[in-house]
Amino acid sequence: MADHSAQSAPRADPHAISDDVFTVPAGVTEVIPILDFGSQYVQLIARRVRDAGVYSVLVGPDVTLEQLKKLNPTGIILSGGPSSVHDENAPQPDPRLFDLGVPVLGICYGMQVATQLLGGNVAGAHEREYGRAQIDIHETHDGLFKGLPDKTSVWMSHGDQIENLGPDFIATATTPTCPYAGVRHKTKPFHGVQFHPEVTHTPHGGDILSNFLFGVCGCHGRWTMADYLDSEGRRIKALVGDDHVVLGLSGGVDSSVVAAMLAKTIGKQLTCIFVDNGLLRKGERALVETTFRDHFDLDLRVIDAEKAFLDDLAGVTDPQQKRTLIGHRFITVFKETSEQIKSEFANKNTQIKYLAQGTLYPDVIESGQGYAGTAANIKLHHNVGGLPEQLGFDLIEPLRNLFKDEVRKLGEVLGLPHAMVWRHPFPGPGLAVRVLGEVHATQLDLVREADEILLEEIVANQLYEKTAQVFAVLLPVKAVGVMGDGRTHEQVIAIRAVESQDFMTADWARIPYDVLATISNRIINEVRGVNRVCYDISSKPPATIEWE
Ligand code: XMP
C-alpha cells in the first residue's frame, strides 16, 4: 500500500544508494530471514518475529546460499504458500540450507517442501482443511511446543499434507485428520508445523514462535527501536558526511518520523520543505511549524502555495483530474524550492546531495526490492504521475526496514507529539477529495470547520484510537431547513468514520448515537452554511473510504 498518510516528496534515482535487503542494519546481531513462498500471512510472520525483539527480513524462495550467509542468520523460517509441492514450477529453497547448522522452521507449505526435500512424501489433497483444528501435542518438554498444554487449537489452511514422514522425522503433533501437524528432523535442526502459528486464531501461536526464536535458535530478542535509531542514525551520519539533505514534510506519520530522526542525527544539515497547498486540515500547518521549527529546531521552509493549487483546481470537478493537477503542482513547487535551496547552499560550499523519503518496508516488498534487491519501482504517492526521473539527488530512506507500527514506536522514542504519531491517515490531495464538486476557498473553510468539530468530539469521547479514519465530507447539494422563522437552503455534511486494519476493506464505525447527536448539533450550530448532517453507514467494499 502506498503511503496514504503523507504527501511524499518526489523520489530521485532509485539506484542511487545500494541499500539492498541483504545488508543488515548496523548493530543488529540476530537476524531471521523468512523465505516467502507466497503466503498471505508472510508479513505477519515478520512482524511477530520483530515484536519478539528479533530483526527479520523477507527474502524470495530462490535466495542463494551466499545471500543467506551474508545475513548471518540466527534461524530461518520457510513461509506457507499457495503452491503444491507437486506443481511443475513449485518454488523450492536451496536444499543446502538445511546443512547450514542454522535452525529452520517450516510453516505449512514451508514444512511440506522441506520434508519432501529431506526424504518425506507429501500427498495431494483429498479436501482442503480450513479453520480451527484441535491438536494433540506429543512433545511438550522441549522444542517448539515446550510448556504448551497437551491439547490446544490451531488455525489450519491447507490442501496437501504430509503422507509419509520418511525415516528421519518424528511427528510432534497430530490432529484427527492430519497425522503430521507438527514434525521435527531427528538430526538436522528442522522443525515444521502444518498450521499457522502467526495468526491470532492459534492461541498458543506466539508461544510456539517464541520457543523457536529463544529456545531453538537461542535468540536474546534485544532489538528495540532505540537500537534501531542509534544504528540507523550512525549509518546515515556516515553516509551524509558534510553534505546536506532535503525532505518533503507532510505532517503525516512517516515523513514526520523521518524529519525527527534526521533532525536528531544530522541537525542543521537537514532542510524540510512543507508545502501548504491550501487543502490541509485546520491547525495542520501550525502543528508542523510548532513541532519541527520550535521543538526540533530544524530548518523548515513552509511554502505558501495555496493560490497556485486553488487556481489549478478552479472549475474542476472530476476527482482524478483534481489528483493529477495537485500531484503536478506539488512537483513543480517542490522542484522550485529545492532549486532555491541548492543555490543558497552553493554559496556555502556545501552540496545538497540527498533527498530523504519515508518509504516503509511493505512498499519495498511490494515493489519487488525485498527479493534480491532487483526491481526498483518503489510505489510513490499514488497521485503523482509522470514524476521526473531525476531531481539530482541521491535517496535516503531511514524507514525502509520498518513496518508502520514500528515507525510509530520510533516516533515515540523520538519524542514526537502523541497526536502526530497516532494520526489517522490523510490523503495527499487533502480536502480536495472531501469537497465534492468544485473546490473553492469558502467550501474548504466549511469542511475544515466541520472536520475540526467532528475530530474534537471523537477525541473527547475516546474514539480516535478505536477508529482508523474519521472525517467530514462536504456534499455539492443544498437541502432545505428551518432556522428561527425562516426557511434555509444550505449545504450537507456527511460524516465518515471507519474501522479498518489495512484500508483495503473497512466497516463503518458504530459511533454511539449520543456522540453523533452532539457532533450534528455542533456542526449545524457552529458552521455557517450547513443545515444538515448525515452519517455514512456503508462498508468498503462496495463503497470506498473517501467519497471523492
Ligand atoms: P479509498 O477511498 O480508496 O481509500 O477506500 C483508501 C485509503 O487511501 C486513502 N486515499 C488516498 N491517499 N492519495 C492518498 O495519498 C489519494 O489520492 C487517496 N485516495 C484515497 C484514503 O484516505 C484511505 O486511507
SS3 content of the chain, % helix, strand, coil (to 5): 35, 20, 45
- Would you state the pLDDT for residue 20? 55
> Could you tell me the pLDDT band of residue 378, with boundaries at 50, 70 and 90?
very low
Determine which residue's CA is closest to atom 22 belonging to ligand 1: 427
Cα–ligand 1 centroid distance for 308 (angstroms):
23
Cα 269 from Cα 263, distance rounded (Å): 8
The pLDDT, as a whole number, for residue 350 is 79
Give residue 452's pLDDT.
Answer: 98
CA of 316 to the centre of ligand 1 (A): 19
Is position 220 annotated as part of the catalytic site?
no
First to last CA, the chain: 19
Q: Contact, 272 vs 259, CB < 8 A?
A: yes
Tens of pLDDT, residue by residue over 167-203, are 999 999 999 989 999 999 999 999 999 999 999 899 9
For ligand 1, is residue 468 a contact (CB within 6 Å)? no
pLDDT of residue 366: 63
- Cβ–ligand 1 contact at 383 (below 6 Å): yes
**Can you give the pLDDT at residue 483?**
83
Q: Which of 158, 185, 191, 196 is catalytic?
A: 196
Return the sign of the alpha-carbon dihedral for residues 274, 276, 277, 280.
Answer: positive
Which of 329, 501, 545 best tests ligand 1's pocket when mutated (most atoms within 8 Å of CB)? Answer: 545
Ranges 22-36, 57-71, 160-174, 516-530: which has the least confidence: 22-36
- Residue to probe by mutation, ligand 1, list 275, 380, 503, most atoms within 8 Å of CB: 503
pLDDT at residue 124 greater than cutoff 80: no
Whether the CB-CB separation of 326 and 277 falls below 8 Å is answered with: yes
Ligand 1 centroid distance, CA of 542 (Å)? 15
Residue whose C-alpha cell is 536451496: 94
Give the three-state DSSP class for 355. strand
What percent of the chain lies above the pLDDT cut of 90? 72
Alpha carbon of 546 to ligand 1 centroid (Å): 6
Give the pTM: 0.79
Interval 269-316: pLDDT, tens: 999 999 999 999 999 999 999 999 988 999 999 999 999 999 999 999
